[in-house]
Structure 1
Amino acid sequence: MSLDLNLRVIPANTEVSAPTVLLIHGFASSSELNWERSGWVRHLADHGRKVALIDLPGHGAEPNRSPGPWTPSKIRESMASALAEIDTPIDILGYSLGARLAWEFAAKHPELVRRLVIGGPGSLDPLAALALDEARRFVATGESIADEYTAKVMKIATNEASNDFSALFKLVEGIKDEPYDPGEAVPSTPTLLVAGDQDDLATTMPQLRRLLAQSGTPSEVLWLAGRNHANAVTSREFKNATLEFLSVS
């Protein structure tokens, strides 16, 4: 059975000029927080793009609306099922965890993806490496986190007061069952990689560029000056570069 990803399609505000853009949010975020509040939906809609939004398991207004397992492969399978409602191929923009899912989805379903943008990505998997016991104690008691990666992820996650951490940790358990290996399947669709130059979680992004080059996949890179993992997604430069990249036929 497919997971309920709460697919929503937002119409363009002008004449539609290109394929629908699927937006995949990051960990401890949501389609509303990652894409609507930050102005992405309006920006794309104002430039003739229909936007498809999903909420990953453990996220959004109903974080527990789907039973498990919440593994990346199950999420990708559910994304493919949801896209049956949309004309394909589509363009995809994923951020952080959404970048990992977008990379894997485009690699495994090249017939469904025309162009790909991944923001805040890296070749490592901080969620698979998350020290869950430390994260749980931090949420329950405020005890400090010794593991560096876990501390960085939880600092971002606690910025949103509405997060259901029991649901988020359930998703992490699913991710630990299928750690990220970007070299296992590499997208063949043209790809834009974007990250803030102060993003500690994206320091391994050049490895993704090397994998794309080795596979013969056209790619471009944009480093956002002065931006980190938390605020790169609000960048006007990011929005404009994405629209320009996706506008190529």
Structure 2
Amino acid sequence: MIGSMTLDLNLRVIRTNSEVSGPSVLLIHGFASSGESNWERARWTNYFTDHGRNVLLVDLPGHGTDPHRNEGSWAPSQIRQALAAIVIDLDEGPVDVLGYSLGSRLAWEFAAWNPDLVEHLVMGGPGANDMLAGFEIEQARKFLASGEEINDDLTASIMQIVAAEPSNDAEALFKLIEGIKTEPFEPESKIPSTPTLLVAGDLDDLATTMPQLRRLLKNAGTRNEVLWLAGRNHANAVTSREFKEKTLEFLGA
């Protein structure tokens, strides 16, 4: 149910400057990123608008220029409801959805729960497990406060991602992680029926479990395709031209 407590996600609608050639594309960025740094810098927004697509660009809670703009729970189910409200309010019919990293996890759940709102699903850098669920928030806080070393490898690597974007607000990101910990990713619990494209760099350590997602889709009878990007890792797969071209081809299929 979509109630009055729906999260107010920062949304920008970027219209194509040519004739509309297909559904609008909802872009869901990764953790410790933003609509701007994940999609605009990598030239995805221009790529879509140049090819006749309107773009719905959101900032997840804890991210973007106003990371603390939302009160209450930031659990994935709340984010999913907020995304649904955006699509319904714009009244543009089903959209194509592209997510990256954490955004791909949210896109999987969004498509699985709202099949009537999603035409195609594209997941970049996805994994079948939940990295953020194991994040040690107290260790990260001590590291920021006093420089005390983080002894959990996963937490240390996520903190490197956080530090890579100077505008990130660590406390806001920790609040989102707390929300995610209440609902860890269990992809087998609800599987999208929407045609799905899975994309990752073949050097992406975070996407080694992507074949498990494909197996779930296959067993559920969902049409799916996979693209491995040669020589790309989790940080730079998103800038790949091959990724963009394959996505556009898949969305037009």
Q: Which TM-score band applies after superposition, normalised by the shorter structure?
A: over 0.9
Q: Displacement, 1:155?
A: 1.4
Q: Distance in 2 between matches of 1:142 and 1:232?
A: 31
Aligned length: 248
The alignment status of 1:147 with 2:152, answered yes or no, reads yes
Q: How does 1:17-56 map to 2 (within 5 A)?
A: 17-56=21-60
> Which residue of structure 1 aligns with residue 210 of structure 2?
205
2:238 maps to 233
Aligned partner letter, 1:104: E
CA distance in 1, matches of 2:96, 2:163: 30
Contact map agreement 1:13 1:47 (CA 8 A) in 2 = no
Work out the CA distance in 1 between the residues paired with 2:41 and 2:143: 28
Give, in whole Å, the separation in 2 of the partners of 1:176 and 1:117.
Answer: 24
Could you tell me which residue of structure 1 aligns to residue 13 of structure 2?
9
Note if contact 1:21-1:90 (Cα within 8 Å) is conserved in structure 2.
yes
Deviation (angstroms), 1:142: 3.1
Partner of 2:84, secondary structure, is helix
Residue identity matched to 1:10: I
Tell me, what secondary structure is at the counterpart of 1:171?
helix
Q: Secondary structure at the match of 1:7?
A: strand
The CA deviation at 1:140 is 2.5
Write the distance in 2 (CA, Å) between the matches of 1:217 and 1:135. Answer: 39
1:179 equivalent in alignment to 2:158: no
Deviation at 1:151, TM superposition (A): 1.9
Deviations 1:176-233 (A, max 9, x none): 0000000000000100001111111111000000000010001011111111111111
1:1-249 correspondence runs (5 A): 1-84=5-88, 85-248=90-253
Counterpart residue type for residue 247 of structure 1: G
TM-score, normalised relative to structure 2: 0.96
Q: Secondary structure at the match of 2:133?
A: coil
CA contact (8 A) 1:156 1:230 kept: no
CA shift for structure 1 position 12: 0.7
- Segment of structure 1 superposing worse, 67-76 or 134-143: 134-143
Q: Deviations over 1:24-73 (max 9, x none)?
A: 00000000000111100001100011000111000000000010210000
SS of corresponding position for 1:128: helix
Which letter does structure 2 place at the counterpart of 1:220? E
**CA-atom RMSD, angstroms?**
0.9
CA distance in 1 between partners of 2:162 and 2:82 (Å): 24
Q: Say which SS state the counterpart of residue 199 (structure 2) adopts.
A: strand
Aligned-partner residue type, residue 21 of structure 1: V
Code of the aligned partner of 1:32: E
Aligned partner of residue 168 in structure 1, secondary structure? helix
CA deviations 1:141-200 (Å, max 9, x no partner) are 333322122222221221100000000000000000000000000000100001111111
Q: TM-score, normalised by structure 1?
A: 0.97
Identity rate of aligned residues, in percent?
Answer: 64
Structure 1 window deviating more from structure 2 (75-84 vs 105-114): it is: 75-84
Q: Distance in 1 between matches of 2:124 and 2:146?
A: 33
Query: Secondary structure at the residue paired with 1:44?
Result: helix
Give the distance between the partners of 2:226 and 2:37, measured in 1 at CA: 25
